[in-house]
A and B are shown apart, each in its own frame.
Chain A
Amino acid sequence: MQFLLNAPRHLFFTGKGGVGKTSIACATAVQLADQGKRVLLVSTDPASNVGQVLNQAIGNQIVAIDSVPGLSALEIDPQGAAQQYRDRIVGPVRGVLPDKVVRDIEEQLSGACTTEIAAFDEFTQLLTDAALVRDFDHIVFDTAPTGHTIRLLQLPGAWSGFIEHNPEGASCLGPLAGLEKQRAQYHDAVAALADPARTRLVLVARAQRSSLAEAARTQAELAAIGFQRQHLVINGLMPETEGQIDPLAHALANREAAALAQLPPALAHLPTDRLSLKADNLVGLSALRRLFAMDESMATTQEVNKAMPPLPKLAGLLNGLAADGHGLIMVMGKGGVGKTTLAAAIAVALAERGLLVHLTTSDPAAHLADMVAGTLDNLAVSRIDPKAETERYRQEVLASKGRHLDEAGRAMLAEDLRSPCTEEIAVFQAFSRVIREAGRRFVVMDTAPTGHTLMLLDATGAYDREIRKKMAGGGLHFTTPMMQLQDSRQTKVLIATLAETTPVLEAANLQADLRRAGIEPWAWVVNQSLAAAKPTSPLLQQRAANEQAQLAAVASQHASRYAVVPLQVQEPVGLERLRQLTQP
């Protein structure tokens, strides 16, 4: 493994949920510890399952892993970190200031922004607090999925610069204002990240076009903020031998080869390792130690139960979705589960029933949506581009609200509009413009990754309260975006996931978050299922059998109704192949 050679002090693994970075980070930590190094494994993933993989409960304190000498682990729980941050600020005034005032402060500190920053603050400590980490030779970070990672890592660069240029600190740092005294620490964290002698970043991807494109975007964004030394790991490659037995395995191997042949140029020059698909889920030490073994024995010892129960199809959800003739359909879930594909397939199926449909996507890699644009008369396709929306919003605010300010005031406003919140607000505004159409036709949306999505909803909530305040007493009839999202006749939320442990856990967390916001998901869709694809290769059959536990959990614990979409022999792009996803 090239990424393990001369490993520097900090190793970061990044990639979308489901690519296997937790397993690879764990296996790396175990391997380094087996070599006699003292290793700290850190998970900052909101859906961390490091404890599950290592068979030991881990929390927000560093604990030694009993079964691996030299290995310690730590889970940074973003929600817990945010609660600690709130307690630090609110604790001293509880019982001193009026209760209602204390509740208002807590509400203000309950946004996604606070969570993000509180988690980042702990992460910074690990990079800069010498006393905390002096007992370790290596710190291995299993970071959160890409969008979140970038946010975490971009903040120190942007904010160190920002703090330098605003010595008075009077400006918009949001919840970071409370942490401003630690600016030297942020500066050190940036320096540690940008120093190739101390830090190596390992991009983890599957050999799929969208996964590689996502890795290329991450590569560029991280390189731009100083993360120069990067490695690439391509995980889960189909072993050649399987393709000789099974047409599905053969097609998958071909798809992988085609994706790798068109490797984005930014990735082509990176030192690259390839790992083959394994039959079992990588839970437990012996499985972790075998992960980097080149000659994985294919012999599946367990008897595979070939009698799979029948699985409900996506077509079965269409009547329910189409019933009202219009409405908002939101496909939500983590990046990499195929939200854009599912949204496009549903939009096409509804349009082919003669219904008016608007498919809108905020996925930056929306080539798929482009391919159905203009193919059906009653199907409109549009995109919310976060960068363009943000720039438009900035210009709009400067032109309207900045009009009356003097030059210094305008400069300050322009600076404030560079704060991380601006993009969330800009995207939210574009989002609320689109969902208003759902009273007349179908609006089908794939939303951006979960954290971002929840920030949108968070903003929707604040907006909702603001409108209520303004309208109160006026006696006017009004509908806010939040009311629209909470009404199941107007809005149907589909939770998209994969039949694997981490994605199902992440989807369940997303559902819990939505319920807190008063939104009840209408159905779950399990995408890219091997069990539904009925493979014949022993390796794929074993993996299909491994899906059963998760499929059962979706059916019995999580979803009131659900559908399973089989893994497709060909990549589902273009009208014809999208139709196959909703075949009865």
Chain B
Amino acid sequence: MPSIQIFDPALCCSSGVCGTDVDQALLTFAADLDWLKRQGGQVERFNLAQQPLVFAQQAAVKQFLERSGQEGLPLILVDGEIALAGRYPRRAELARWAGISSLAVQVQPATGSCSGPGCC
């Protein structure tokens, strides 16, 4: 199964509840990741404020940071290659990268703006 790596900007916490206003995008994504893990997907998530060394050790991530800065994050790698940057992936995208049937996405439609396969 392909491995997905998420490189977050410097966050207090990955679900976003620590901000002065709760960030809906982070919240939805945290729920989507949780869903993906329950489907058996392989995901790792790194927070720039807590594990900056991981960012420095991956050439692709380090170069991305040099070119685009922290504002360019989040960055998503699938098997070490850049798959997406600048926004969090939708549930269907995660499922596709992880090789999980889109049927599973339809059975559990729950993400914010995207409740069916058509919109993603």
Contacts and interface: CB of A to CB of B under 8 A. Distances in A.
Interface of A: 89-90, 92-93, 96-98, 100-102, 104-105, 107-109, 111, 113, 168, 170-175, 177-178, 397, 401-402, 404-406, 408-409, 412-413, 416-417, 419, 421-422, 425, 428-429, 459, 462-463, 466
Contacts of A89: 49-50, 52
A96 B17 CA distance: 30
A90 B10 CA distance: 12
Contacts of B28: 404-405, 409
B30 to A, nearest CB: 6
B18 A412 contact: no
Contact of A462 (B20, B22, B108): B20
Interface in B29-81: 30-31, 33-35, 37-38, 45, 47-53, 55-56, 62, 65-66, 69-70
Contacts of B52: 89-90, 92-93, 97, 101-102, 105
A121 to B, nearest CB: 14
A466 B110 CA distance: 29
B120 interface: no
A33 to B, nearest CB: 41
B20 A459 contact: yes
Given A92-B53, A93-B55, A97-B55, A408 B17 contact: no
Contacts of A90: 52
Given A108-B12, A170-B33, A408-B34, A417 B53 contact: no
Contacts of A405: 27-28, 31, 110
Contacts of A406: 31, 35, 108, 110
Contact of B15 (A100, A172, A429): A172
Given A96-B62, A97-B65, A412-B34, A104 B14 contact: no
B12 A408 contact: no
B13 A93 contact: no
A108 B27 contact: no
Contacts of A98: 65-66, 69
Given A97-B62, A113-B12, A417 B17 contact: yes
A171 B15 contact: yes
B112 interface: yes
A172 B31 contact: no
Top-3 shortest CB links A-B: A409-B31, A406-B110, A172-B13
A409 B12 contact: no
Contacts of A408: 31, 34-35, 38
Contacts of B14: 170-172
B102 interface: no
Contacts of A422: 17
A335 B110 CA distance: 47
Chain B interface residue bracket vs A: 35 or more
B24 A101 contact: no
A368 to B, nearest CB: 31
Contact of A409 (B45, B70, B110): B110
Interface string B78-120: 0000000000000000000000000000001011100000000
Contacts of B22: 397, 401
A111 B55 CA distance: 22
A318 to B, nearest CB: 35
A425 B35 contact: no
Contacts of A416: 13, 15, 17
Contact of B17 (A172, A177, A466): A172
B62 to A, nearest CB: 7
B115 to A, nearest CB: 8
A93 B47 CA distance: 14
A409 B69 CA distance: 30
A173 B13 contact: yes
A419 B19 CA distance: 12
A397 B70 contact: no
A172 B62 CA distance: 26
A105 B10 contact: yes
B66 to A, nearest CB: 6
Contacts of A178: 50-51
Contacts of A96: 56, 62
A175 B14 CA distance: 11
Contacts of B62: 96-97
A397 B24 CA distance: 10
Contacts of A413: 15, 17, 27, 30-31
A89 B55 CA distance: 12
B65 A93 contact: no
Contacts of B108: 406
B13 A105 contact: no
A92 B53 CA distance: 7
Contacts of B35: 406, 408-409
B16 to A, nearest CB: 9
A406 B69 CA distance: 33
12 contacts: A89-B50, A97-B62, A98-B69, A101-B48, A105-B49, A105-B52, A171-B14, A401-B24, A405-B110, A406-B110, A412-B15, A462-B20
A425 B111 contact: no
A425 B30 contact: no
Given A97-B55, A105-B48, A404-B112, A171 B13 contact: yes
A112 B89 CA distance: 32
Given A97-B65, A98-B66, A409-B30, 9 more contacts: A92-B52, A101-B69, A102-B52, A105-B48, A172-B12, A397-B17, A404-B111, A408-B35, A413-B27
A409 B34 contact: yes
B18 A93 contact: no
Contacts of B70: 100-101, 104
Given A109-B49, A405-B110, A412-B31, A104 B17 contact: no
Contacts of A97: 52, 55-56, 62, 65
Contacts of A417: 17
Given A93-B53, A405-B31, A409-B31, A108 B20 contact: no
A89 B48 CA distance: 10
Given A170-B14, A422-B17, A401 B27 contact: yes
A421 B56 contact: no
A170 B17 contact: no
